Each structure stands twice: as C-alpha cells, then as structure tokens.
Structure 1
Amino acid sequence: MKLRSLCLTFILLTGIAIQPGAAAAATWPEKPVHIIVGWSAGGATDVIARYLAQQLGEALGQQFIVENRPGAGGNIAAELVARAPADGNTLIFLTSAHAINATLYKSLPFDPVKSFTPLAVIGNMTQMFVIHPSLPYHSAEELMNDVRKNPDKLKYASAGNGSSSHLAVEQLQAKADLELMHVPYKGTSQYLPDLIAGRVDMAIDSATALLPPVRNNQLRALAISSHARSDMLPDLPTIAESGVPDYGVNLWFGFLGPSGMPTDLTERINTEIRNIVARPAVIEQLKEFGLTVSSDYTAPEFRDLLNEDIEQYADIIKASGAQVE
C-alpha cells in the first residue's frame, strides 16, 4: 500500500513538473513576442528579422515585435535576452557574430552557450571576395599566387577588428600562406567608398553588401567564401575551388531564447519557424536578402553548430591577436 501511495505521489509530482512546459508549448504565442536585434534598424539582420516577424505574426495570429538594441557587437541585446524569462516571449535574432564574440571580447556578462536556448537556424549568407577592378587579377588563384611572391602588396578593408570580414581574410591568410595589410574601418558602409575609389584593394564581406557595387562594375568578384557554390551566384567559384581546399566560411542567422526554456516549448518554436521558412515565397524573399535557407537544424543541432563555430573562430581570433575589452 505504501509503495502504491509513493508511486502515485511520484506520478502526480512528475505531472506537475511537466505540465507547465507542455501547456506553454500548446498555447505559444499567448501574448506578443519580442524579437531583439543587436544591430541598428535598416541593416541586413534587422531587415530579415522584421520580415520573419511579419510572417510569424500572420501565421500564428500574434504580434512579433522587433526591438533594436545595438551596441558592443550585439552583446547588449544578448545580455538582455539572457536575463529574460524563459517563456518564449523574448527571443534574439542574431548571426554567427555571437560565436565570434565568445573569444573576441575579454569578458562577457553572460555565457555565449549556457545562457541561451538555441531555437532555430534560418539560413546562411555567403561572403564575397572582391577587389578593385583596376587590379590585374581575374581569379582568386591569380591574386594569391602574386601575393605569395610580393607580401604586403595589397591592402584589405574590414568592418573592424574581430568582425566577420576581418576574420574571413585572416583565415585565408593562414590557410593560403598570404601576407596582406589590414585596414580596419567602423563598419562595411564606412570602407565601401574607399574600396570603390581604390584606396584599399580588396575585401571579403557579405554578398548582400558587396553585390550591388559588383553588379555596377565598381568592384570585381573573384570568389565566395562558402563551402559550396551559391544559388544566388552560381558562376562564382568558391575560395576552396580556387586553391585553398580546406577554406570555408558561412555566416548563419538564427533565433536563441533565454536558458531554461522547456523542451516542449523549444520544439514548438523550432517547428513553427521552420514551417515559415520552408514556404517557397519566403525562400525566394530571403534569397533576395542574400540568405540561403538552411532550416533543417533541430534545436540540439543548432547548439552543436554554435559550439563548433566558437571553437573555429577562437583559433582564428587568437592567431590574429584581435580582442575587445
């Protein structure tokens, strides 16, 4: 009789522990969901977040409100979400810059992995290797062969120390045995006029930012950074195809929530987001934004991706010596 009573008590207690998570998943989103973006309005991350917020709102019959909290490379927004309740009503939309920040910043007010619940990956944005058109190179291989013979001949621009555009070239230098001169700026928009004018020679940055001047013949594209050719730029070879076989960099975009979110709720949000980005019209629109949809990651697989990227970028950052206090 005592054993039976104990079993019944255990079942009841277990049921009570599980019910809140299951109930939250069943009713989510019960009230407006706030999507925090760590960058200013009008940038690629913001534009994509607002489009997805609209799509989610229409599909789920609830408001999805984008809030911009720029600063510290996205860390101000990340800290806000890390401290939010784990109820699915405060999410962050961010990029692989989050993995970079784990090593780039000397100290952070949160753990880049443990303070968050990975929810869903939306897709990847490739980076484009471009040069000023006055240079004689018509392939990445030509450029690299010449630079090996003439170290520090070329100056490359980046969006700043530790930015993805900086680390993309640092990785190329390490893997291809190159020596290039780094000219850091405060953002892509700051260096583009100098690159177009020929005051710096080259850059590797997001295709979204660099494609317009390439199409206007203001810059020449030599390659892309991703492991495979892009559907958006099918005729452009990868850097790996250009003589650096183990080179490959993709910028991912995705959603995280605060740590401690119930598994049922995490799976519900993952499913809803993946359903949205699987729609043909959404895939096409994201393609216009320069994003290739890659939404087949489960929440646990997203955590693995985050850990892998942190490890990969740590090696590059340490080799480059970049650090932010």
Structure 2
Amino acid sequence: MNRRDFIVASAIALLPLHISAQTPAGYPEKAVRIVVGFPAGQATDIIARIVSEKLAERLGQPLVVENKPGAGGGLALSYLLRQPADGYTVSFANTGAVITNQFVKKDLPYNPNDLQPVALLGDIPLVLAVRGDSSIKSLEDFINQARANPGKLSYATPGVGTTSHLAMESLKQATGIDVLHVPYTGSSRSLSDVVAGNVDVSFDTITTVYPFTENGRLRPIAIGVSERVALLPDVPTLAELGYRDIVGAVWVGAFVPPGTPTAIVQTLEAGIGEVAKNPDVASRLAAAGLYVRYADAAGFAASLATDKPKIQEVVKFSGLQPN
C-alpha cells in the first residue's frame, strides 16, 4: 500500500468513530431537564408541561420541568447556556426572552444569538379588547376615534417592553394613531382598569383576556394571529382586517445550548413535531392559549431571523431605551 492509499484508508477507518462521537447512541439515556423562565402556572410553564408529558412517552425517558423565573424569562436562558451541550437540558422560551429582551434591557446576562433553536411550537395570540359597554365596536372604530382624538385614548399593558406594549406600538406605526400607554406590573390590574373604564383598550394575551370576555366585561375586537381561533371564533384577525405585519402574538419554542450534536437536535425536533401533531395535545395547548404553528429547527431559525429586525424596528419606533 502506498502512502496515499494508507492515508485514505486511515481516514475511512476513523470516520465512524467521529460520527459516533458526534451522535451519541441511545439518546436519551436519562431524564431530560426542561427549563422554563416563568413561574409554575404561567402560560409558558403550562405549555412546557403539556408537551413534556407526551414527549417523554416518545423519548422513553422522563422530562422534568424546572422553573427558573426572572428577568422576563432571561434567567432560564442564561442558565441553559451554561449547561453542557449534551441534549439533557432544554428550554421552552418565548418571544420576549429570546428577541425583545436584547433591545429593552441593559447588560443582558446571556447572548440570545448563542441559542440553538430546536423547534417552534406555536403562538399565544394577543387580543385587542375594550370595555364591554364601550362605544368602540370594532378595530375600525378604535382607529377612527384615535385619529379624531390624538393622544386622548389610552391603552393598558402588563408592562413596558412587553409583547403587549410592542403590539400596540406596532399598530400605532401601521396606522399613524397616537394613543397613550398606561403600563402596569402584570395583566390582572391592567385588564381590571379597562373593565373599570379607567383605560380605553388592552392588547394582551388570549389567556388573560378570554375570562373577561365570557361575562361581557371585555369586548374583543381583533386578534393578532393569522387565522381565527376556536375560543373567539367571531373575532376577526388583524391580517383579515389588512394589518398583516403587526407583532400580534407571543411564540413559544424549544432551545438547547450551542454545539449540541445535530442528531440530538433532530431527535428532539422530530419528537416535538410528532407531539404537536397529536390532536389531544393540540386541543390541550389551545385550552392553554397556544395555537400550534410547528416549525423544525431550520424553519424556526428562519422565523427568528425575520422576527428580530421587525421587533427591533418597533422598539426603535416606540422610543424605548434599554433599562
């Protein structure tokens, strides 16, 4: 055997060893931790638990949800990025923690660009709602009244820099209206003040708005996803009303640390995809406020690349400064 043939043969002999080192056989061989950056009982937590229950059955190992709330979901992602890239720590995170935080918070303790996307699960729609007896009956009414009374109408959100805040700023940017932002520390108080007539309108998640609509305390006039939803089937979408580019939902997706072997990412990606297709799971997720819009790792990465500049532009328009 000449020297060239020896080198080629040696390279071929080593190739399976390299592949096995990158794609551990038998994954997962132990419990997988699912890190959530919000308290137990919050929407992202409930969604993570619903998916983890079925995903554990498919993977043949327990999936243990750990709550690490704080910094708008950022503490969990900071923790995730310090873990080994072995597929045994996964985080379910949302729009705010992955994209918005980097534009509205100073000294972020993690780099969102380091996150390895696994799969997009779906969207929690935002609902534009007014007091039940408001003279505002539709999105058109709201826009017309706002244009006739610049700076007079007000909108409530659960906080500065939240997706709810950016959603209204996005609508302001698209329509040219001028409405006053009234931020609160959480949705309960903000929605209660809309019901009380202290604020004119709210743009908040369907999970928080829907209970107020059941007894007529709030009237939903538009919803931020592209298709109507079963909980509020008579409420038109912003898209069908002509506003397709509004930041109108909070998405939830799965991430792992950078450098996680491709085969492990693909295992998790395929598992989440199968779970998302399960009608029972989809029904339970919808009850928790999330509507499935599954995308694999590549599709999710493309979606992130589209969302990031859009949200950055809305933050710039709003005049928000990192704090």
Closer/same/farther in 2, CA of residues 63 and 235 from structure 1, 3 Å limit: same
1:95 correspondence with 2:94: yes
Distance across 2 between alignment mates of 1:240 and 1:2:
66
Give distance in 2, aligned partners of 1:150 and 1:243.
Answer: 22
Q: CA RMSD in A?
A: 1.6
Aligned pairs, number? 321
Show CA shifts across 1:66-97 (max 9, x none): 11111111111111001111111001101111
1:15 partner letter:
P
Task: Output the CA distance in 2 between the equivalents of 1:40 and 1:246.
Answer: 30
The match for 1:252 is 251
Contact 2:163 / 2:249 at 8 angstroms: preserved in 1? no
* In the alignment, structure 1 residue 22 sits paired with structure 2 residue 20: no
Residue aligning to 1:142: 141
Q: Which amino acid aligns with 2:179?
A: L
Instruction: Give me the whole-angstrom Cα distance separating, in 1, the residues matched to 2:270 and 2:193.
Output: 44
Equivalent-residue separation in structure 2 for 1:54 and 1:246 (angstroms): 34
Normalising by structure 1, we get a TM-score of: 0.94
C-alpha distance in structure 2 between counterparts of 1:244 and 1:59, whole Å: 39
- Superposition deviation, residue 239 in structure 1: 2.4
Alignment correspondent of 1:191: 190
**Cα deviation, residue 129, structure 1:** 0.4
- Any conservation in 2 of the 1:40–1:70 contact (CA below 8 Å)? yes
Q: Are residue 107 (structure 1) and residue 110 (structure 2) matched?
A: no
Kept in 2, the 8 Å contact 1:141–1:243? The answer is no
Show CA shifts across 1:104-150 (max 9, x none): 2233233212x121111111121110011232011110111111011
CA contact (8 A) 1:38 1:69 kept: yes
Question: What is the Cα deviation at residue 246 of structure 1?
Answer: 4.4
Q: Deviations over 1:283-322 (max 9, x none)?
A: 1111111211112x12111111112111110000111122
* Matching of residue 310 in structure 1 with residue 314 in structure 2: no
* 1:255-266 → structure 2 map (5 Å cutoff): 255-266=254-265
Match of 1:2 in 2: 3
Give runs of aligned pairs for residues 279-318 of structure 1, distance below 5 A: 279-295=278-294, 297-318=295-316
Task: Indicate how the Cα distance of structure 1 residues 301 and 240 shifts in structure 2: closer, same or farther if over 3 A, else same.
Answer: closer
The equivalent residue for 1:127 is 126
Report if the CA contact (8 A) 2:34-2:89 is conserved.
Answer: yes
8 A contact 2:273–2:296 mirrored in 1: no
The AA in structure 1 aligned to 2:99 is: A
Q: Which moved more, 1:302-311 or 1:168-177?
A: 302-311
Counterpart of 2:57 in structure 1 is 58
Which amino acid is the alignment partner of residue 22 of structure 2?
Answer: G
Residue-by-residue CA offset, 1:267-295 (whole Å, 9 max, x unaligned)? 11100111112111111111111211112
Letter aligned with residue 42 of structure 2? G
Question: Could you say what secondary structure the match of 1:236 adopts?
Answer: coil
Q: Distance in 2 between matches of 1:12 and 1:233?
A: 61
Residue of structure 1 in register with 2:321 after alignment: 323
1:15 Cα deviation after fit: 2.6
Please say if residues 127 and 205 of structure 1, whose CA atoms lie closer than 8 Å, have aligned partners that are also in contact. yes
Structure 1 residue 162, shift from structure 2 partner: 0.6
Q: How far is 1:192 from its partner? A: 2.2
Percent identity, please.
36
Q: Deviations along 1:12-40, whole A, 9 cap, x unmatched? A: 333322212322xx422211111111111
Name stretches of at least 5 consecutive residues in structure 1 with no aligned partner.
Answer: none
The answer to whether the Cα contact below 8 Å between 2:184 and 2:190 also exists between their aligned partners in 1 is yes
**Residue 212 in 1 paired to residue 211 in 2?**
yes
**Secondary structure of the equivalent of 2:121?**
strand
Q: Which moved more, 1:1-10 or 1:204-213?
A: 1-10
TM-score between the two structures when normalised by the length of structure 2: 0.94
The range that moved more, 194-203 or 54-63, is: 54-63
Q: Is the 8 A contact 2:159 2:183 kept in 1?
A: yes
Establish whether residue 11 from structure 1 lines up as the match of residue 12 from structure 2. yes
Distance 1:244 1:275 in 2: 32
| Letter in structure 2 aligned against 1:36 | V
1:243 Cα deviation (Å)? 5.0
- Separation (CA, whole Å) in 2 of partners of 1:192 and 1:249: 17
Contact in 1 for aligned 2:47/2:290 (Cα 8 Å): no
Change (3 A) 1:302 1:134: same
Secondary structure at 1:178 match in 2: coil
